[in-house]
Structure 1
Amino acid sequence: MNWERIPLGPLQTNAYILHAADRTCVIFDPGSEGTKLVRYIEEKGYTPLAILLTHAHFDHIGAINDVLAKWELPVYIHAKEIDWLADPLLNGSAYFIGKQVKVTCATQCLQTDKPLSIGAFTFELLETPGHSPGSVSYYCSAIGAVFSGDVLFAGSIGRTDLPSGDYEQLMESIHDRLLSLPEETIVLPGHGRETTLAAEMDTNPFLNGF
């Protein structure tokens, strides 16, 4: 089992492909450039099983329609942000880009009180609100990594100046949920390079005092 990072769109939002030995995969946050993403998956010979969303800001959902036009897949998202998918005011596209992002699809509400298993993949679901109210991080013990969305970055944290952002809530999410994982856990963020929890605890200025 391994992961691949694919930065997409003007904000270089990281989509991730987590794939197993049988070439099945799950797709995290297909945010933009849907044709490019679909072509990449096809060229690799992967068979997607699901789309997993860390949250529903426009730069994390913009390629969903293109992916679903190629494969019929379930889309997993926190219940608090289901309505954001088809609403440009909620997902932010009405404010930040020149076109409105509207995703209409069948969704699966994430149940954060139990593991999520899809094919060969199993995740511990961590509610990590603050950047947005329905932000979820996916911890995969099989690879020792957490897909953190826009909660924690290398040297920084998610912004909280957007509608529904909450700085104190974000810091609680990082401290109570992410930092409770093993220190060697790889952090796969929504933007930028990967890091580890140990590195962030040592050098991230926002985590001083934790």
Structure 2
Amino acid sequence: MLKIDRLELGPVQTNCYIISGEDKQCIIFDPGEEAGKIQEVLKRKQLTPLAILLTHAHFDHIGAVDELRDIYKIPVYLHHKERDFLGRPNLNGSGKYAALPDYRVADADEWISDEQTLEIGPFQMELFHTPGHSPGSVSFYFAKDRFAIVGDTLFSGSIGRTDLTEGSESVLLKSIRDSLLTLPEETFLFPGHGPETTPGQERQHNPFLRI
């Protein structure tokens, strides 16, 4: 059974997830900032990272990417529709806030283009393209372990913001209904901010999904 470590990192407390197996290999989702804290967890738990996977490329999800990639010599995965976001503050959102530095990250090593089953070492996951919050937002579903990493697509009692570059509320709601709410009701959904939820809970209580 896979283990999930969640770290809240950076200026807006973005959830970074470290998914590990019994063999002590792991994959890192959305290392938004504070690479040192991620390294501490990996060292303490004696984990070997195989890859960095990004649900999308907004600044608060990418801040520690280059440092971790350089240290561990591992590939970064991102949807191709956000190819330009990594190096352009006006697209990744950091340019929107005067209090933030401009975030610029090197190109991904692997570009996701379609919904598919992705295998990295012992990890197997289904990829759902879930745009709306951003054009290349992706959710990663681990069917055997009954959980999904969903980025800023869906939150407990809320949905992702749609006022950033290429955001669309109608597209976002379609992504949620067509991909995330079709999962088994007890599936744990781990978002980019805040606590986990389930499709069953969101169908019942999320005010954005009652229309």
TM range (shorter): over 0.9
Deviation at 1:106, TM superposition (A): 4.4
TM-score of the two chains, using structure 2 as the length reference = 0.96
Please identify, of 68-77 and 22-31, the stretch whose mean Cα deviation from structure 2 is larger: 68-77
Identity of paired residues, percent? 50
How far is 1:51 from its partner?
0.4
Q: For 2:124, which of 122, 125, 140 is the aligned residue?
A: 122
Task: State TM-score, norm by structure 1.
Answer: 0.96
Give the distance between the partners of 1:111 and 1:85, measured in 2 at CA. 16
Residues of 1 paired with 2:38 and 2:87: CA distance?
Answer: 21
The 5 A counterparts of 1:1-210 are: 1-96=2-97, 97-209=99-211
Contact in 2 for aligned 1:86/1:104 (Cα 8 Å): yes
Q: Write the distance in 2 (CA, Å) between the matches of 1:160 and 1:46.
A: 36
Query: Structure 1: where are the runs of 5+ without partners?
Result: none
Provide the C-alpha distance between the structure 2 equivalents of 1:186 and 1:103, rounded to a whole number of angstroms: 30
User: Aligned partners of 2:189, 2:154: CA distance in 1, in Å?
Assistant: 8
Q: Structure 2: state its 5+ residue gaps.
A: none
Q: Distance in 2 between matches of 1:107 and 1:171?
A: 30
Mapped to 2, the partners of 1:149 and 1:189 lie a distance apart of 5
Q: Does the 8 Å contact 2:83/2:107 carry over to 1?
A: no
- For the residue of structure 2 that corresponds to 1:27, the secondary structure is strand
Moved over 4 A (4+): none
SS at match of 2:174: helix
Q: Secondary structure of 2:87's partner?
A: coil
Equivalent residues, number: 209
**Kept in 2: contact 1:82–1:107 (CA 8 A):** no
Contact 1:35 1:66 in 2 (8 A): no
**In the alignment, is the contact (CA less than 8 A) between 2:190 and 2:197 conserved in 1?**
yes
Report deviation, 1:114.
2.2
For residues 39-79 of structure 1, the C-alpha deviation after alignment (integer angstroms, 9 at most, x for no partner) is: 22122110000000000000000011121121011111000
RMSD: 1.1
Moved more, 91-100 or 143-152: 91-100
Q: Give 3-state SS (helix, strand or coil) of 2:27's partner.
A: strand
Offset of residue 176 of structure 1 = 0.7
